Amino acid sequence: MFKDLKKAALDYHEFPLPGKIATQTTKPCTTQQELSLAYTPGVAEPVRVIAADADLAYRFTNKGNLVAVITDGSAVLGLGDVGALAGKPVMEGKAVLFKRFANVDVFDIEVGTQDIEAFVDTVANIAGGFGGINLEDIAAPRCFDIERALGERLDIPVFHDDQHGTAIIICAGLLNALELQEKTLSEATIVCLGAGAAGIASMRLLKELGASAERILMVDRRGVVRTARDDLNVYKQEFAVDTDRLTLADALRGADVFIGVSGPNLVSGDMLAAMAAKPIVFALSNPDPEISPQLAHQIRTDLIMATGRSDYPNQVNNVLGFPFIFRGALDVRARAINIEMQKAAVAGLRALTKEPVLPEILSAYRLPALAFGPEYIIPKPFDPRLMNFVPPAVARAAVDSGVARIGYPAHYQPAAGF
């Protein structure tokens, strides 16, 4: 680790050029003839055909491989409401990951308003030039309203990564962990600490995958989300249950699964000890989990644990999802990223985890061996086979569910074991 992370990070972002991204041309422009094709008069030809048929923008522009990563800066990492401009380094970082992992081009856009209507209008008015919209670092509950409104107005995918990206990775890891612990999703009692974007989206996707709504206990700052409470917004009301359990400690008694998307050190050793046999703990607060892995493993030798950190096994990392999900969606010119596509991404990630780990992955992570098991329930981000497992699954689901503009790409090859 860097001795001085602050200086190293600032130097990385400043030198040799400010920022992390730039644009480059994809066609030559070194002669008069090429200039006349790139701009006037030649550029008029694609203008004419696109004016006559908007779908031809996919053929004659970069629309089909271009995603807008957009924020209002209201919930940037763990730093909170720092404003749109201060969120730009994160948006540039997302652009780097899109390009590095799935060769998707990105323009980052920072919108200087937190008014829902103004934000939606801004994004809707610029969306035509993009193949998809990745919303990022927008606070709940505003993020739910924004995504829904844009989804209704646009005919390209609108994907809030803090919601659905996180949910997809959590669900893939959790289903694998349940399999290893010999438990079923439908019968598992699940406690989710954190009722913001990630928590609500994750519980929604788990219900779509077969979790019992009656067995999900969501906990926010005021305790268990119950029908008896009168302070719940419409999104929390979806998860309100009729229970006499009031606190996180109450909720965790006998629970099979804990998912934390909240804050550091909120789960005590006694709470963990009170969980059911073979518990599953996803303590995803960063950089400090809801309970430290050292303490968790000291108290429970029968648990499977994941965190949001790269220095522990089972990192729940969104880079496993969004680049590859958009790759699959873009490759069939999808109009949305629907629930079928999200489930397909979960299935693709689960399947890859069960494949033999490549030697280069072991070398990259300095591990002597790694196989599907308690310390490997989710793939590593640098596994090149993610491109073989996730985009084809997402694209197939888009075609089968009717949101694709074109058919399943001929260049996709079926992934081994999936």
Query: What is the rounded distance in angstroms from the CA atom of residue 388 to the CA atom of residue 45?
Result: 36
The DSSP bridge partners found for residue 12 are none
We report the CATH number of the domain holding residue 299 as 3.40.50.720
Verify that 283 and 171 share a domain, yes or no.
Answer: yes
Helical H segments across 158-258, by residue range? 166-180, 197-209, 234-237, 248-252
Cite the active site residues: 39, 94
Contact yes or no for 176/353 (Cβ under 8 A)? yes
Taking alpha carbons only, the member of 232, 230, 279 closest to residue 251 is 279
Q: Retrieve residue 135's tokens.
A: 């919303």
Q: Retrieve residue 227's tokens.
A: 């029908």
Verify that 233 and 261 share a domain, yes or no.
Answer: yes
**Residue 48 structural domain:** 25-60
DSSP 8-state code for residue 103:
-
Domain boundary among 43, 60, 77: 60
Verify that 291 and 331 share a domain, yes or no.
Answer: no
Q: How far from the centroid of its chain's Cα atoms is residue 338's Cα?
A: 14
Spatial neighbors of 222 by CB under 8 A, at least 6 apart, are: 229, 231
Verify that 225 and 291 share a domain, yes or no.
Answer: yes
pLDDT tens sequence across 162-188: 999 999 999 999 999 999 999 999 999
Angle separating helix axes 322-331 and 386-401, nearest 10 degrees: 50
pTM of the model: 0.95
Verify that 365 and 393 share a domain, yes or no.
Answer: yes
Verify that 355 and 381 share a domain, yes or no.
Answer: yes
Is 300 a domain residue?
A: yes
SS3 call for 401: helix
Dihedral through CA 109, CA 152, CA 387, CA 405, nearest 10?
-120
Verify that 267 and 376 share a domain, yes or no.
Answer: no
From residue 81, alpha-carbon distances to 40, 160, 228, 338, 386 in Å are 44, 17, 31, 29, 33
Element of type H or E holding 90 = helix 88-102
Residue 99, φ and ψ in degrees, nearest 5: -75, -45
Query: What is the rounded distance in angstroms from the CA atom of residue 324 to the CA atom of residue 298?
Result: 36
Query: What is the rounded distance in angstroms from the CA atom of residue 161 to the CA atom of residue 169?
Result: 11
Verify that 303 and 394 share a domain, yes or no.
Answer: no
335-366 CB burial, b ≥16 within 10 A, e <16 = bbbbebbbbbbbbbbbbbbebebeeebeeeee
Verify that 177 and 261 share a domain, yes or no.
Answer: yes
Residue 365, φ and ψ in degrees, nearest 5: -100, 5
Contact yes or no for 413/388 (Cβ under 8 A)? yes
Verify that 300 and 326 share a domain, yes or no.
Answer: no
Contact yes or no for 192/256 (Cβ under 8 A)? no
Is 188 a domain residue?
A: yes
Contact yes or no for 293/269 (Cβ under 8 A)? no
pLDDT tens sequence across 132-164: 999 999 999 999 999 999 999 999 999 999 999
From residue 308, alpha-carbon distances to 284, 319, 326 in Å are 5, 12, 22
Verify that 195 and 261 share a domain, yes or no.
Answer: yes
pLDDT tens sequence across 214-266: 999 999 999 999 999 999 999 999 999 999 999 999 999 999 999 999 999 99
How many structural domains compose the chain? 3
Q: What does the pLDDT profile of the chain (418 residues) look like in tens digits? A: 556 889 999 999 999 999 999 999 999 999 999 999 999 999 999 999 999 999 999 999 999 999 999 999 999 988 899 999 999 999 999 999 999 999 999 999 999 999 999 999 999 999 999 999 999 999 999 999 999 999 999 999 999 999 999 999 999 999 999 999 999 999 999 999 999 999 999 999 999 999 999 999 999 999 999 999 999 999 999 999 999 999 999 999 999 999 999 999 999 999 999 999 999 999 999 989 999 999 999 999 999 999 999 999 999 999 999 999 999 999 999 999 999 999 999 999 999 999 999 999 999 999 999 999 999 999 999 999 999 999 999 999 999 999 999 999 988 876 544 5
Verify that 337 and 381 share a domain, yes or no.
Answer: yes
Q: Retrieve residue 324's tokens.
A: 């590859």
Element of type H or E holding 135 = strand 132-135
